[in-house]
Amino acid sequence: MLTFDDFAKKWKIDPAPLKPVARRYPFRLHSYFEGLIHTNDDAIWKQAVPDAHELSDLSGFEDPLSEEKLSPVPDLVHRYPNRVLWLVSDRCALHCRFCTRKRRWAESRSPKNPPDLKPALDYIAAREQIVDVLLSGGDPLLLPEERLCEILSKLREIKHVQIIRIGSRVPCALPGVISPRLAAMLSQFHPLFVNIHFNHPLEVTAESGRACSILANAGIPLGSQTVLLRGVNDSETVLAELFHKLLSIRVRPYYLMQMDLTAGTAHFRTPVSTGLRILRTLRNRISGPAMPHFVIDLPGGRGKMALLPNMIREINDKEMIVENYTGQSCVYPLLEGEQEALKAEMAAR
């Protein structure tokens, strides 16, 4: 782990102007991920290094998804009826400057004094409609192995919990932590899925590839969640390369996420049209299984909403004119009387 002073010295930047930023939102970076930085303004740098904009941004919310309000017991977010998000860890391998849970960075507890698991387990056990539990944090894969094993065992004792998903950035940001032993422990709890946070092709290295192959070889289906970030990955070339590379290390792109409206992160936000444009052009460049859903997690905890580019150019009484993957106009015939229903379905799109 690098201190901010060590980092600043190594990269020959003046730490003074960024100290207040790092005081409010602590710096956290391991030398593995630091080693992916090529220049002091590149896509890896921007994700990890404090920026003065974090303090000058007065837009946004501390808790844009109202996670605290949607928590019936501490650290358990219950938004959708059938699934819950359980924040089981308060530590990450990296403090992503655009993190949606920046508000929790300061609260890190000592690992010797971990929170009580009982309230969340009791809540889940008492509700049969909860069939899917997502573990996140912080990063669950940074928990002591016995602690994670205990959480998974206790979840598996609850009959109605069918699916367990772990959200992690460890295979990307600190891949050395992923060992065959950890993967073997996880594989006792199938069906168990791991979703990994990757944002840039530079993050797909021999080391992260090795970590993913250990997990995949343990039978764990791997997905990715990518945040669309201004100046980091908001280009079809970068994302086409990232999604293809992920597929080639057996990680299936799952979500491309619009930035949340988190305080201190406005400099990363892209227009919604950027995501739609990228999605439209990616169709022509990458394989179907490399295509993620583009989602906005709606403010106030209203849920994730997937957006698709509108490929329909015109609807008349006989046909619709659509755009294909190369941008060419194509005709598709309609059933008789279908026009109005199709227009209604497409109304706001």
Active site residues: 79-80, 83, 92, 96, 99, 101, 260, 297, 304
Q: What contacts 133, CB < 8 A, 6 or more positions away?
A: 83, 84, 86, 124, 155, 161, 163, 164, 165
Q: Which is nearer to ligand PLP, 77 or 182 (CB)?
A: 77
Q: Which of residues 320-349 bind ligand PLP (CB under 6 A)?
A: none
DSSP conformation letters of 17-29: GGHHHHHHS----
User: How many residues bind to ligand PLP according to rule CB under 6 A?
Assistant: 7
x/- track of binding to ligand PLP for residues 107-146 (CB under 6 A) = ---------------------------x------------
Smallest distance, ligand PLP to C-beta of residue 176, A: 27
Looking at the Cβ atoms of 79 and 283, the one nearer to ligand PLP is 79
Least CB distance to ligand PLP at residue 163 (A): 9
Interatomic CA distance for residues 326 and 253, integer angstroms: 22
* Binding residue (CB under 6 A) for ligand PLP from 304, 323, 338, 339: 304
How much of the chain is helix, strand and coil, in % rounded to 5? 35, 20, 45
The identity of residue 49, as a single letter, is V
Least distance from ligand PLP to the Cβ atom of residue 52, Å: 30
For residue 249, give both structure tokens: 């290390």
308, with CB counted inside 10 A (0-12, 13-18, 19+), is: exposed
Which of 80/105 has CB closer to ligand PLP? 80
Residue corresponding to tokens 């497409």: 346
Site string for ligand PLP, 72-111 (x = CB under 6 A): -----x-xx--x-x--------------------------
Residue 152: phi and psi, rounded to 5, are -65, -40
List residues near ligand PLP by CB under 6 A.
77, 79-80, 83, 85, 134, 304
